[in-house]
């Protein structure tokens, strides 16, 4: 029986096979390769970090530049301009009314209504439209105060109508209605301009020219250059009081007949506008 010899693994395989291989052909080579990989990664990280810090610095500089500019106060000057136009008064205003007292409240109202209805009818016949008539009405108790205390005297009714007279030639005829129909209260006669919007526009244009001239003169005195308008507002100047003819109230029904003066002078009215204009200013060399 043949004898079979047994070999160990080391004896059975060549030395080139049984030897453990070195990493990448040698320990020194693996160490150098790892260092190169690490250097590349650090380089990439440094590049990204450089871009990040640069972007952050740039944004910060922009932010501070923006904030600084926003906080700077604008260099401005503000001037006030005034403009005025004059126009002839074209309408007259007056008030006619009736006041009466009676112990019977119903009778007081009936008597008052009778006078005022007649008066309103005559005004409409004279061509006064409803848009130019504004009525008022009130009623309340009237008391006598004696040693015995407060005693009811009756009820007082007050009615009135404010009339806008566009045809100034009718003033005398309208005022005469008071005595003719028993109206015992007559207000003052005043004159004014009916529509002032066009006059305001004209006055505003003059005020703007005035403001521009003032701004140029001021800029020249300050040694600066006048720039664009920053803000603007306007308001009507205090209007002058309209012409007024005063009439006293008549004491009772049946008083003297009232008429306007023979020579009526309606006069005129000033319409003024103020403007506030703010301009930017720059250095003279700008």
pLDDT per residue as tens digits for the range 73-132: 679 999 999 999 999 999 999 999 999 999 999 999 999 999 999 999 999 999 999 999
pLDDT of residue 37: 82
pLDDT of residue 260: 54
CATH of the domain at 167: 3.30.70.2970
| Rounded percentage of the chain residues whose pLDDT exceeds 90 | 56
- Which residue range is the domain that position 204 belongs to? 76-85+199-236+276-283
Q: What is the pTM of this model?
A: 0.61
Q: Is residue 63 part of a domain?
A: no
Q: How far is CA 202 from the centre of its chain?
A: 21
Q: Is residue 64 part of a domain?
A: no
pLDDT of residue 17: 46
Which residues are within 8 A (CB) of 205 and not within 5 positions of it... i.e. 6 or more apart?
83
Statement to judge: residues 164 and 260 lie in one domain: yes
Statement to judge: residues 189 and 208 lie in one domain: no
pLDDT of residue 220: 93
Can you tell me the distance from the alpha carbon of 114 to that of 159, in angstroms, rounded to the nearest whole number?
11
Q: Is residue 81 part of a domain?
A: yes
Statement to judge: residues 252 and 180 lie in one domain: yes
Statement to judge: residues 43 and 170 lie in one domain: no
Can you tell me the distance from the alpha carbon of 265 to that of 281, in angstroms, rounded to the nearest whole number?
50
- Cα dist. 82→203, 236, 238, 256, 274 in Å? 8, 10, 12, 48, 5
pLDDT of residue 253: 40
Q: Is residue 6 part of a domain?
A: no
DSSP letter assigned to residue 20:
P
Statement to judge: residues 129 and 38 lie in one domain: no
Q: Is residue 7 part of a domain?
A: no
Q: Is residue 151 part of a domain?
A: yes
Statement to judge: residues 141 and 31 lie in one domain: no
Q: Is residue 209 part of a domain?
A: yes
Statement to judge: residues 39 and 157 lie in one domain: no
Q: Is residue 70 part of a domain?
A: no
pLDDT in 10s for each residue of the chain, 286 residues: 454 455 544 454 454 444 445 544 556 666 677 777 887 888 788 777 787 777 777 766 655 554 444 445 679 999 999 999 999 999 999 999 999 999 999 999 999 999 999 999 999 999 999 999 999 999 999 998 888 888 899 999 999 999 999 999 999 999 999 989 989 999 889 999 999 999 999 999 999 999 999 999 999 999 999 999 999 999 999 865 555 544 444 433 444 455 555 567 889 999 999 999 999 999 986 5
Using CA atoms of 169, 245, 158, 149 in order, give the dihedral in degrees to the nearest 10.
-160
pLDDT of residue 26: 55
Statement to judge: residues 98 and 171 lie in one domain: yes
Burial 20-33, CB ≥16 within 10 A → b, else e: eeeeeeeeeeeeee
């Amino acid at each position: 029986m043949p004898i079979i010899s047994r070999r160990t693994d080391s004896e059975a395989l060549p030395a080139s096979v049984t030897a453990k291989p070195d990493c990448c052909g040698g320990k020194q080579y693996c160490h150098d390769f790892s260092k190169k990989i690490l250097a590349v990664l650090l380089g990439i990280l440094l590049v990204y970090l450089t871009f990040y810090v640069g972007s952050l610095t740039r944004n910060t500089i922009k932010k501070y530049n923006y904030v600084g500019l926003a906080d700077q106060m604008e260099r401005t000057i503000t001037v006030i301009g005034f403009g005025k136009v004059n126009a002839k008064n074209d309408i007259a205003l007056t008030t006619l009314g009736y006041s009466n007292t009676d112990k019977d409240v119903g009778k007081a109202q009936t008597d008052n209504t009778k006078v005022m209805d007649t008066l309103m009818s005559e005004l409409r016949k004279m061509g006064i439209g409803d848009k130019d008539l504004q009525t008022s009405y009130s009623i309340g108790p009237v008391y006598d105060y004696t040693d015995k205390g407060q005693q009811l005297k009756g009820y007082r009714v007050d009615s009135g109508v404010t009339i806008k007279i566009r045809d100034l030639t009718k003033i005398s005829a309208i005022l005469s209605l008071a005595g003719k129909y028993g109206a015992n209260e007559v207000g003052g006669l005043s004159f004014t301009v009916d529509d002032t919007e066009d006059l305001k526009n004209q006055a505003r244009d003059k005020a703007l020219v005035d403001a521009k001239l003032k701004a140029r003169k001021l800029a020249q005195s300050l040694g600066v250059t006048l720039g664009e308008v920053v803000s603007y507002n306007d308001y009507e100047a205090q209007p002058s009081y309209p012409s007024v003819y005063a009439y006293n109230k008549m004491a009772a029904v049946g008083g003297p007949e009232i008429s306007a003066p023979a020579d009526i002078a309606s006069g005129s009215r000033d319409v003024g506008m103020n403007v506030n204009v703010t301009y930017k200013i720059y250095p003279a060399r700008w």
